[in-house]
A and B are shown apart, each in its own frame.
Chain A
Amino acid sequence: MKKHIETINILFCGTGGQGVLSAAEVCGVAAMRDGWHVKKSEVHGMAQRGGSVESHLRIGTNVCSPLIEPGQADYLVCFHEGEGKRLRYFLRKNGFDFVPLLPKASQLPDPRFANTFFLGILAAFLPISQQMWFDALSWVIAKRIEENKAVFNRGFEVGKGLTK
Chain B
Amino acid sequence: MNEEKNPVQKAFLSGDEALAQGAYEAGLKVACAYPGTPSTEILEYLARFPQVDTQWSVNEKVAFEVAVAAAIGGVRSLYASKHVGLNVAMDPFMTAVYTGINAGFVAVVCDDPGMHSSQNEQDTRWVSIYGKAPLIEPASPREAHSFIKEAFDVSERFDTPVLLRMTTRIAHSKEDVIIGMRTDLPNKPFELNIPKYVMVPRNAYQRHIVVEQRLVQLARFAETTRLNRVEKGSAKLGFVTSGVSYQYVKERFPDASVLKLGFAYPFCDKKIATFARSVKELVVIEELDPIIEDHLRALGIRSKAKHSSFRIGELRPEHLPAVVAGKKKKEEQNTSRKPVLCRGCPHRFVFATLKKIKAAVAGDIGCYTLGATPPLLSLHSCVCMGASVTFQEGWRRAMPDNKKIVGVIGDSTFIHSGITGLINAVYNKAKGVVMILDNGTTAMTGGQNHPATGKTITDQPAPRLILEDLCKACGVGTVDVISPGNIRDLESLIRSRLEQDALSVIIVRAPCRLIDRERRPAPAYDRNKCRKCGLCLNIDCPSVVKQDDGFIEIDRNACMGCHLCVDVCAPKALTKPV
B-binding residues in A (CB < 8 A): 15, 25, 28-29, 32-33, 36-46, 48-52, 64-67, 69-70, 82-83, 86
For residue B203, CB closer than 8 A to chain A, the reply is no
Write out the residue numbers on chain A whose beta carbons fall within 8 Å of the beta carbon of B330. Answer: none
A38 and B168 contacting across the interface, CB-CB below 8 Å: no
Contact of B336 among A29, A33, A44, A52 (CB under 8 A): A52
In chain B between 12 and 52, which residues have their CB closer than 8 angstroms to a CB of chain A? 12, 37-38
B367 and A49 contacting across the interface, CB-CB below 8 Å: yes
Known: A38-B176, A39-B175, A42-B173. A67 touches B317 (CB 8 A): yes
In angstroms, Cα B141 to Cα A32, docked, is: 14
Write out the residue numbers on chain B whose beta carbons fall within 8 Å of the beta carbon of A41. Answer: 169, 172-173
Contact of A49 among B12, B116, B317, B341 (CB under 8 A): B341
For residue B297, CB closer than 8 A to chain A, the reply is no
In angstroms, Cα B342 to Cα A50, docked, is: 7
In angstroms, Cα B176 to Cα A32, docked, is: 6
In angstroms, Cα B335 to Cα A83, docked, is: 10
Contact of A64 among B116, B176, B251, B338 (CB under 8 A): B251
Total interface residues in chain B, CB < 8 Å = 38
Number of A-B contacts defined by CB within 8 Å: 99
Write out the residue numbers on chain A whose beta carbons fall within 8 Å of the beta carbon of B175. Answer: 37-40, 66
B338 and A28 contacting across the interface, CB-CB below 8 Å: no
In chain B between 51 and 89, which residues have their CB closer than 8 angstroms to a CB of chain A? none
Write out the residue numbers on chain A whose beta carbons fall within 8 Å of the beta carbon of B271. Answer: none
A71 to chain B, nearest CB (A): 9
B330-355 vs A, CB cutoff 8 Å, 1 = contact: the mask equals 00000111111110000000000000
Contact of A69 among B10, B317, B542 (CB under 8 A): B317
Write out the residue numbers on chain B whose beta carbons fall within 8 Å of the beta carbon of A39. Answer: 140, 173-175
Known: A38-B176, A41-B169. A32 touches B445 (CB 8 A): no
Write out the residue numbers on chain A whose beta carbons fall within 8 Å of the beta carbon of B168. Answer: 43
Write out the residue numbers on chain B whose beta carbons fall within 8 Å of the beta carbon of A50. Answer: 337, 339-340, 342, 542
Q: Is the interface of B mostly helix, strand, loop or mixed?
A: loop
One of B119-127, B242-250, B273-281, B386-394 contacting the partner? B242-250
A155 to chain B, nearest CB (A): 22
Write out the residue numbers on chain B whose beta carbons fall within 8 Å of the beta carbon of A51. Answer: 336-340
> Which 9 residue pairs spanning A and B have beta carbons closest together?
A45-B117, A52-B336, A66-B173, A49-B339, A51-B339, A45-B37, A46-B339, A64-B250, A65-B251
B247 and A64 contacting across the interface, CB-CB below 8 Å: yes
A-B contact pairs, 25 of them (CB 8 A): A32-B10, A38-B12, A39-B173, A40-B12, A40-B174, A41-B173, A42-B174, A44-B117, A45-B445, A46-B339, A48-B342, A49-B342, A50-B337, A51-B338, A51-B339, A51-B340, A64-B248, A64-B250, A65-B317, A66-B169, A66-B170, A67-B316, A69-B317, A69-B318, A82-B337
A110 to chain B, nearest CB (A): 13
Residue of chain A at shortest CB distance from B514: A48
B169 and A70 contacting across the interface, CB-CB below 8 Å: no
Write out the residue numbers on chain A whose beta carbons fall within 8 Å of the beta carbon of B116. Answer: 43, 45-46
Write out the residue numbers on chain A whose beta carbons fall within 8 Å of the beta carbon of B446. Answer: 44-45
B335 and A86 contacting across the interface, CB-CB below 8 Å: yes
Residue of chain A at shortest CB distance from B318: A69
In angstroms, Cα B29 to Cα A7, docked, is: 39
B336 and A40 contacting across the interface, CB-CB below 8 Å: no
Write out the residue numbers on chain A whose beta carbons fall within 8 Å of the beta carbon of B336. Answer: 51-52, 86
Contact of A15 among B172, B173, B317, B337 (CB under 8 A): B337
Write out the residue numbers on chain A whose beta carbons fall within 8 Å of the beta carbon of B367. Answer: 49
A118 to chain B, nearest CB (A): 20
Write out the residue numbers on chain B whose beta carbons fall within 8 Å of the beta carbon of A64. Answer: 247-248, 250-251
B465 to chain A, nearest CB (A): 25
In chain B between 418 and 467, which residues have their CB closer than 8 angstroms to a CB of chain A? 444-446
Residue of chain A at shortest CB distance from B447: A48
B342 and A37 contacting across the interface, CB-CB below 8 Å: no
In angstroms, Cα B446 to Cα A29, docked, is: 23
Residue of chain A at shortest CB distance from B41: A44
For residue B370, CB closer than 8 A to chain A, the reply is yes
In angstroms, Cα B169 to Cα A45, docked, is: 13
Write out the residue numbers on chain A whose beta carbons fall within 8 Å of the beta carbon of B174. Answer: 25, 28, 38-40, 42
In angstroms, Cα B444 to Cα A115, docked, is: 25
Residue of chain A at shortest CB distance from B558: A17
Given A50-B342, A82-B337, 14 more pairs with CB closer than 8 A: A38-B12, A38-B174, A39-B173, A40-B174, A41-B173, A44-B172, A49-B342, A51-B336, A51-B337, A51-B338, A66-B247, A67-B316, A69-B316, A70-B318
Residue of chain A at shortest CB distance from B254: A64
In angstroms, Cα B340 to Cα A50, docked, is: 6
A119 to chain B, nearest CB (A): 15
Write out the residue numbers on chain B whose beta carbons fall within 8 Å of the beta carbon of A69. Answer: 316-318
Residue of chain A at shortest CB distance from B15: A66
B174 to chain A, nearest CB (A): 4
In chain B between 348 and 379, which residues have their CB closer than 8 angstroms to a CB of chain A? 367, 370
Write out the residue numbers on chain B whose beta carbons fall within 8 Å of the beta carbon of A52. Answer: 336-337
Q: Considering residues B174, B248, B514, which has the most beta carbons from chain A within 10 angstroms of its beta carbon?
A: B174
In angstroms, Cα B176 to Cα A33, docked, is: 9
B318 and A49 contacting across the interface, CB-CB below 8 Å: no
Q: Considering residues B12, B248, B340, B514, which has the most beta carbons from chain A within 10 angstroms of its beta carbon?
A: B12
Write out the residue numbers on chain A whose beta carbons fall within 8 Å of the beta carbon of B318. Answer: 69-70
Write out the residue numbers on chain B whose beta carbons fall within 8 Å of the beta carbon of A82. Answer: 337
Residue of chain B at shortest CB distance from A82: B337
Write out the residue numbers on chain B whose beta carbons fall within 8 Å of the beta carbon of A70. Answer: 318
Write out the residue numbers on chain A whose beta carbons fall within 8 Å of the beta carbon of B542. Answer: 50
In angstroms, Cα B341 to Cα A41, docked, is: 24
B96 to chain A, nearest CB (A): 29
In angstroms, Cα B14 to Cα A44, docked, is: 12
Write out the residue numbers on chain A whose beta carbons fall within 8 Å of the beta carbon of B342. Answer: 48-50
B300-320 vs A, CB cutoff 8 Å, 1 = contact: the mask equals 000000000000000011100
Residue of chain B at shortest CB distance from A139: B12
In angstroms, Cα B168 to Cα A40, docked, is: 12
Residue of chain B at shortest CB distance from A70: B318
In angstroms, Cα B177 to Cα A28, docked, is: 12
B339 and A42 contacting across the interface, CB-CB below 8 Å: no
Residue of chain A at shortest CB distance from B16: A44
B173 and A40 contacting across the interface, CB-CB below 8 Å: yes
In angstroms, Cα B93 to Cα A129, docked, is: 50
Write out the residue numbers on chain A whose beta carbons fall within 8 Å of the beta carbon of B10. Answer: 32-33
B12 and A32 contacting across the interface, CB-CB below 8 Å: yes
A49 and B340 contacting across the interface, CB-CB below 8 Å: yes
A144 to chain B, nearest CB (A): 19
